Structure 1
Amino acid sequence: MNDLFSTTEPTEERATPSERRASRRERRRARRRRRVRTFFVLTVTVAVVAGIAFWTYPRVEEMITGGPTIETDYPGPGHGEVQVQIPDGATGRDMGAILVEEGVVATEGAFSDAFDENANAALIQAGTYTLRREMAADDAVAALLDPANRAEVTITVPEGFTTWQVYERIATVTGTPVQEVEQAAEDTEALGLPEAADGDPEGWYAPATYSFEPSDDAATILAAMVDQTVTRLDRLDVPEREREEVLTIASIVEREVNLPEYYGQVARVIYNRLDDRGGETNGRLQMDSTVLYGNGEVGGIPSPQETREESNRYNTYQHAGLPPGPIGSPGTEVIEAVLDAPRGSWLYFTTVNLDTGETVFAETADEQQAHIDQLRSWCDENPQSCGTTQD
């Protein structure tokens, strides 16, 4: 009869010696497999834990210290100086890449974070900035928002400046040899000089204060000044065929009187003299300022001999009509006065008080002589101030 507790597998006591050996080998292999699995699980677990720690440590440290660590941002305030060019349309990340390359900030990420956290960062303008090396990202953003850090070249062209005065001003401010500036001016096509100028830029360099990048060359600077004049004439609706004449008259007016209240009347004197071909002036402007310009001067009184020199094309005592072109760069106010000169029959004007600039106008030579006598009396009383008679 079968034993109710029997099993199909032999027990250790009933197994044969070979069966017992096989069983022991199987148990050893099972133990090895368990050890391998355990080792693999532990290895993966350690790797995961290490990765998490590596990722979280800087952030935990940042929470504890209250700011980014030295590995991602410089502590500031920085040292030395470096000029950085921010191009037009640059994003915060673009700026960060530029600043990292120039050694201003430690990482792009630090700058991007600081950029995003500053509500005014979007107001940063393209241009060249003077910054420090190894700045904190927050400070770098603030520095780019500060106009004082713009590394601009500022050039002011006063009203009435001649071309040679403009070239000298550019050379002085930028450190460019004046010969290079003059050579740049010869390429009138690159300057955008209108055909009406007939190749002569005199009068087309608009008086204004300009801001340029340190990298801008003389051609770029001069082209901006010409473009400003074209823009002004466009705004005033001056026909292209009349622009050279308007600039010429305006440049003379600006040199002849120094008070805007007289601009329009002096312009009317010029118009009247141009029309007076058969009258007292015989169509001659007889302006000291044009004679002086033709001699390469910008102030003073021409001598009687200078007013008789016919070789000077700008000598309006000898040559009827307008001179060959402008004698300087007129400002917007005087151009407007020339375009809207008041009605009147004046052929003469004289500044009778050189301290105040008081100027009187006359229709006849006799009236003009009386005004000249008035000026002479004033000069006798103020010899230290008397120097110019304008007619």
Structure 2
Amino acid sequence: MIIIVVAALVVVLGLGAWTVKNDGYLFGIATPLAAEDYEGTGGEAVSVDVPEQANGYSIGAQLEELDVVASADAFVRAFNANPDAGGIQPGTHEMKLQMSADSAVALLAENNINRAGFTVPEGYTVDQIRASMIDKGWPKEDVNATFKDIASLLPPEAGGKAEGWLFPSSYEVKPDTTPAADVVQEMVAQAIAVLDQLDVPADQRETVLIKASLIEREARLAPDRPIMAAAIENRLAANEWLGIDASLLYGLGRTSGGLTSAELADGSNPYNLSVRGNKGLPPTPIAAPSRASIEAVMSPADDPDVFFWCTVNLETGETKFADTQAEHDQNIAELHAWMDANPGWNG
């Protein structure tokens, strides 16, 4: 998505086109000249930032330059013909390239504004967040320097590791106004705020985030989260391996795909929680967990017997839980049957 800033002028929205010589009218005479215009509602998506005190002509001139509309003249006429145009609000509007002037004004007047400048999706890793910041326009040097010294922005219980502490949410920040360090600091502050809201003791924050991150990467459907939380607690209490593939994938620097026998057998990878790997939790969170996953850890399902889960339909995310190995084996067989019927999926 492209972020475009429309230059601000000191005239308020709603300025009549007849006051501007270049708007397609001659010195206020209401006889319009022909103005170039596109047809239809446009093509490629584009975000246009309308600042405070912009007016119809300033917006039109910029949209013409950026090929959102064919001409400022056509836009100004459409602006003045639309009674809702005076209510266009400043902010980031979602637009399209090569729109007709009428459709451009109508879409702006809907005020479908993206007020957040940067969004961290649930389940993103630190590396993904860093790459996303660079992709959205933060200077690479600034971002890399911030993440290199990120321990200084974290609470002591994070142990100097940022994984799991950059809370997934939307933030009203932009590359040209907010330094990278301030963005990261805001993410960490939001994580702490959510943990406090959910009454997570400070000395348990890291453990809760680790468990929540495992659930975040494994759960496809919301009702499954507290059941997974119960299964994790039951397996830890029984001193059993967790066997969570998402953890090993993280340790291998991946977020999806299958695992080889050699990878599953590599006990030197601290994120390998398989029976040939390591018992207990991984050393750090493996992703940025959502509030829902943290809530699941704090309030797991009341099920002292659930021990296994298996996603049996990779398209819908349907997951089945089991108390015994025999039941789990049946669920695995169901997954394999689904994969045989749907070639091309690798989980």
TM class by shorter-chain length? 0.5 to 0.7
Does the CA-based 8 Å contact 1:153-1:174 persist in structure 2? no
Q: How does 1:233-272 map to 2 (within 5 A)?
A: 233-272=195-234
| Counterpart in the other structure of 2:328 | 368
State whether structure 2 residue 262 is matched by structure 1 residue 305. yes
Pairwise CA RMSD:
3.0
Q: Given the alignment of the two structures, is residue 186 of structure 1 paired with residue 137 of structure 2, yes or no?
A: no
Indicate which of 152, 156, 159 corresponds to 1:198: 159
Structure 1 equivalent of residue 338 of structure 2: 378
Q: Which amino acid aligns with 1:180?
A: D
Shift of 1:148: 4.8
Taking the TM superposition and a 5 Å limit, the aligned residue runs for 1:90-239 are 104=10, 129=51, 146-148=90-92, 154-177=117-140, 179-188=141-150, 190-191=152-153, 193-213=154-174, 214-239=176-201
Is the CA contact 2:151–2:161 (under 8 Å) kept in the aligned structure 1? no
State the match for 2:243 in structure 1.
286
Deviation at 1:152, TM superposition (A): 7.2
Counterpart in 2 of 1:319?
278
1:333 corresponds to = 292
TM-score by length of 1: 0.60
1:206 and 1:229 in contact (8 A); partners too: yes
The answer as to whether partners of 2:214 and 2:246 remain within 8 angstroms in 1 is yes
CA distance in 2, matches of 1:143, 1:104: 17
Residue 374 of structure 1 and its aligned partner are, at CA, apart by: 1.7
Aligned residues: 257
5+ residue gaps, structure 1: 1-79, 84-102, 106-127, 137-141, 278-282
Describe the shift of the 1:170–1:360 C-alpha distance in structure 2 as closer, same or farther (beyond 3 A). Answer: same
3-state SS, counterpart of residue 226 of structure 2: helix
Counterpart in 2 of 1:358? 318
For 2:19, the equivalent position in structure 1 comes to none
Asked whether the equivalents of residues 156 and 209 of structure 1 are also in contact (C-alpha less than 8 Å), the reply is yes
Contact 2:312–2:331, Cα closer than 8 Å, also in 1 = yes
> Percent identity among equivalent residues?
35
1:246 Cα offset (Å): 0.8
SS at match of 1:360: strand
Larger radius of gyration: 1
Shift of 1:381: 2.2
Change (3 A) 1:148 1:381: closer
Q: 1:296 aligns with which of 253, 275, 282?
A: 253
Structure 1 residue 369, shift from structure 2 partner = 1.1
Q: Distance between the aligned counterparts of 2:134 and 2:228, measured in 1?
A: 34
Distance 1:175 1:219 in 2: 11
Cα deviation, residue 370, structure 1: 1.5
What TM-score does the superposition give when structure 2 sets the normalisation length?
0.67
Q: Matched residues in 1 for 2:181 and 2:126: separation? A: 14
Which structure has greater helix proportion?
1
For 2:289, the aligned partner's letter is P
